[in-house]
Structure 1
Amino acid sequence: MQKETVTFDKLPEAVGYLTEQVIELKKMVAELQPPASDKHVLVEIEDACRIIRKAKPTIYTLVRKGQLPAYKKGKKLYFYEDELLTWIENGRRKTSEQTYEEMLANMQDGVRHKPKSSVKL
């Protein structure tokens, strides 16, 4: 079917063949994608301690400073697991290559040239 020329009479067969191929491609793509995880789960402070591997006083301090995303209902603190994981990822240190590129870009931005003088001798 792939190398044949498609005529008007063979058009329904060609469309059927293409539909089957699209379905197979969708299955392959679905298998390649990671499964959707239910990380948007509400957790309490004990679980937050386990997730970010910090002590309770440290977590209370980070929440008070507004650095750690948290929700307060009454006297209890609640966290979403995916927000905690995102918070950890955003604190990732940059590699030496990234910092070198930033330093180079900052140096190039800061270069100033002398103004040309309009006086000719």
Structure 2
Amino acid sequence: MDINEISFENLPKAVAQLAIEIAEIKLMIQNVQVYESKEKSVPIGIEEVSRLIGKAKPTIYALVRQRKIPCYKYGKKLYFFEEELLEWISKGKKKTIQEIESEVLKYNHNRNK
């Protein structure tokens, strides 16, 4: 249906067509989200981890031995999940001066109540 053909008489047809197209778009978005979540849950090896976190393989092995990095071992091979590594990295965030100051102010405010 051409947009120039919309009139009061064919308005119900136009609305029905839009509803169908919206349903198709929703389905496509859901399929993309399912594909992306499946792709993220694929384990990666030590080489990919090295590139992802910017550390050498011996450093990664040391972190594994110290149980400081999330990993899985099956047989003699180590496996990692990208989303777990990114979460692990984000937990090591250092606070900015502004964040520290706001926490101090909040703490003092709560203490004075």
TM-score for the superposition, normalised by structure 1: 0.58
Q: 3-state SS of the aligned residue for 1:43?
A: coil
Evaluate the alpha carbon distance shift between residue 56 and residue 18 of structure 1 in structure 2; reply closer, same or farther with a 3 A threshold.
same
Structure 2 CA distance for aligned equivalents of residues 40 and 69 of structure 1? 14
Q: Which has the larger radius of gyration?
A: 1
Correspondence for 2:3: none
Q: What is the letter of the counterpart of residue 79 of structure 1? A: F
- In structure 2, the gaps of 5 or more residues are 1-7
Using the aligned pairs only, state the percent identity.
37
What does 1:44-83 align with in structure 2 at a 5 Å threshold? 44-83=45-84
Which structure shows the higher helix fraction? 2
Change (3 A) 1:107 1:26: farther
Which of 13, 17, 20 is the matching residue for 1:20? 17
Q: 1:103 is matched with which residue?
A: 104
Q: Hey, what's the Cα distance between the residues in 1 that align with 2:67 and 2:74? A: 16
The aligned residue for residue 84 of structure 1 is 85
* 8 A Cα contact 1:41 1:82, kept in partner: no
- Cα distance in 2 for partners of 1:21, 1:92 equals 46
TM (normalized to structure 2)? 0.61
Which residue of structure 2 aligns with residue 36 of structure 1?
36
Flag structure 1 segments of 5+ consecutive residues without an equivalent: 5-9, 113-121
Alignment length (residue pairs): 101
Does the C-alpha gap of structure 1 residues 101 and 25 become closer, same or farther in structure 2, counting only changes over 3 Å? farther
Larger mean Cα displacement after TM superposition, 61-70 or 102-111: 61-70
C-alpha spacing 1:21/1:62, structure 2 compared with 1 (3 Å)? same
